[in-house]
Amino acid sequence: MLLLLLLVGSALMLRLSRRRVPGTSTAERGAQALWIPAGNLIHELLGLPEDLIRNLNEISRARQENERLLTEVSDLRRELSAQRLVEADNLRLRELLKLKIPRQSSARLGEVVSHDPSTWYATFLVNLGKDDGIETGSPVVTPQGVVGRVIEVFPGRSRVLLEEEPSSSVAVVDVRSRVRGIAVGTGKHRLKLRYVAAASDVESGDLLVTSGMGGVFPRGLPVGTVVKKGLSENGLNLDVDVAPAVDSGSSDFVYILQPQEGLH
Amino acid sequence: MRNPTLQLWFWLAVLVLLQTSPGISDLGIDLPLVFTALVAVRSRFLEALAWGAAAGLAQDLLSQSGPGPHVSACMAAAALAVLSQKLVFRERVSTQTALVAACMVLHQVWLWFVLRWTLDAPLTPVALDLILRSTLATSAVGALVSFFLVAFRRQRLDPPTA
């Protein structure tokens, strides 16, 4: 009897459970259609403060990260500029090393610190002076050739008169023809070769170097190249334009030699 | 710096410092002269002369020339600028540029005479070339400075027309 009751009960429960498969009845489907979006909404609403806090944290972290990166970029930019300056200085100093100076030489490497503010003078100041053993009249050169000579010496500074200054003159010799003359500044990035007889053998493109005769510059330093020749007004001499070997306006470093010191 | 005199001293120092940079005087640009002309045209006579003397003295002390030539030349340019106050409309770029050019010609010719006397200046063809080149270069810089100066003053004094 008991077994029979259990059997009937199980059969009934099985039948009932089959009939209660979710979503099968209209009422259940309606309830689910309402409940699912509402449940989602409630779930989202409950999660909102959490999301907000997480987003705020992320913004704050991103802001800190941004500030750190900006500082890093600024530091790197500064380092890059400094690096570029060092690189440029390095190149210029390498150029200067090409100048062959005797081991016993007391040539001093100086940096140009200031140019003459007047449009009428072609001079600049170098960061070497009396304390560094610089004397008035010392020749100033670069590996490209003659720049000028020291005309004033102060403590820690020297003034250099450039070769293109009208009051400057250098005794020169034509490397090809051995013709001698005086290169005089004309104040506009040009020199004139003076005291050369009309019949002298001077041609465009000739290299002029110091002759060592003036008592200031040693022999053999490039002064400039002949760019144009003609006859002077009186017809007795040549009128020769010379392009300086050194663009003294762009020289950052120069060598100051002892007066009459020889280069080999 | 709210004090206008201090501001002018500051600008004079900056311009003199710039003037000793490579290439500026090589190109024939004279920044202290631009300063002198543009300040003098807005000043009283003695004040203008004093600014001219200060600009010239700064140049003389940093130059090979020694005190004298630039002081006198800048004072002459300042005097010209003051005397032309009634002729020059100060808020127009073209008139200010013309003023800078006139002051530069006077300044350069004055310097040439002084430096010829001390045998420091070149002979006529080279000197004329230098005077012409520096007048053109300084006037161009004067035009640029005037443009910003006029725009700035208009912005400050008359914003609706700026």
Whether residue A130 is found in the same domain as residue A175: yes
Flag whether pLDDT at B128 surpasses 60.
yes
**DSSP, residue by residue, A139-158:** EEEETTEEEEEEEEEETTEE
Instruction: Give a yes or no: residue A249 inside a domain.
Output: yes
Gap from B54 CA to chain A (nearest CA, Å): 14
Distance of CA B55 to the CA centre of its chain: 8
Report whether B26 contacts B43 (CB < 8 A).
Answer: no
Instruction: State whether the Cα torsion B13-B17-B20-B21 is positive or negative.
Output: negative
**Res. A214 pLDDT band, cuts 50 70 90:** confident
Task: State the Cα–Cα distance between residues A183 and A195, nearest whole angstrom.
Answer: 9
| In-domain check, residue A262 | no
B59 with A118: Cβ contact below 8 A = yes
Taking all residues of chain B, what is their mean pLDDT, rounded to a whole number?
A: 85
Give percent above pLDDT 70 in chain A: 87
User: Are A124 and A65 contained in the same domain?
Assistant: no
With respect to residue A203, please indicate whether it lies within any of the assigned structural domains. yes
CA dist A224 and A245 (Å) reads: 4
Assessment of whether the complete model's pTM goes beyond 0.90: no
Q: Which residues of A touch B126 (CB under 8 A)?
A: 166, 186-188
Substitution target from A92, A111, A112, A119 for chain B, most B beta carbons within 10 A:
A119
State the average pLDDT over residues A27-32: 72
Least confidently predicted of A66-75, B24-33, B85-94 = B85-94
* Domain final position from A73, A97, A121: A97
pLDDT digits (tens, 9 = 90+) for A152-211: 888 888 999 888 887 788 899 888 888 889 998 887 678 888 888 888 888 888 888 888
Task: Domain count for chain A, please give it.
Answer: 2
CB atoms B126 and A186 under 8 Å: yes
d(CA A45, CA B142): 68
CA-wise closest residue to B135 among B21, B23, B34: B34
ipTM, 2 dp: 0.78
Contacts of B111 in chain A (CB under 8 A): 118, 120
Are A246 and A164 in contact by the 8 Å Cβ rule? The answer is no
Average pLDDT over residues B54-58: 91
Mutate to test the interface with A, among B12, B25, B65 (most CBs of A within 10 A): B25
For residues A201 and A85, membership in a common domain is answered with no
- Closest approach of chain A CAs to the CA of B83, in angstroms? 25
Residue A155, in any domain of the structure: yes
Q: Are residues A182 and A112 part of one domain?
A: yes
Same domain, A123 and A243: yes
> Residue A1 domain-assigned?
no
> Does a structural domain hold residue A12?
no
Instruction: Give yes or no: residues A84 and A119 share one domain.
Output: no
- Does the distance separating the beta carbons of A114 and B20 come in below 8 Å? yes
> What band does B46 get if pLDDT is binned at 50, 70 and 90?
very high
Query: Residue B83, Cβ neighbours under 10 Å: how many?
Result: 13
Split at pLDDT 50, 70, 90, the class of B105 is very high
Across A122-126, A255-259, B46-50, the highest mean pLDDT is recorded for B46-50
Are β-strands A238-244 and A191-194 bridged in parallel, bridged antiparallel, or unpaired?
Answer: antiparallel
Q: Is A176 helix (H, G, I), strand (E, B) or coil?
A: coil
Alpha helices by DSSP H, listed for B63-123, are: 69-83, 93-117
A221 & A162 share domain: yes
The answer to whether residue A16 is domain-embedded is: no
Q: Is the pLDDT of residue A230 over 50?
A: yes
Check whether B125 has a pLDDT greater than 80.
Answer: no
Residues A46 and A124 in one domain: no
Residues A93 and A119 in one domain: no
- Asked if B49 and B73 count as a contact pair (C-beta separation under 8 A), the reply is no
The domain in which residue A37 lies consists of 23-97
CA distance B14 to chain A (A): 13
Q: Across all residues in chain A, what is the average pLDDT?
A: 81
- Residue A178 sits in the same domain as residue A91: no
Report the CATH number that the domain containing residue A179 is assigned in CATH.
2.40.10.340
| pLDDT tens-digit map of B136-153 | 999 999 999 988 888 887
In this structure, is residue A167 part of a structural domain?
yes
pLDDT-derived band at A24 (thresholds 50, 70, 90) equals low
pLDDT computed for residue B159 by the predictor? 67
What is the share, in percent, of chain A residues with pLDDT greater than 90? Answer: 6
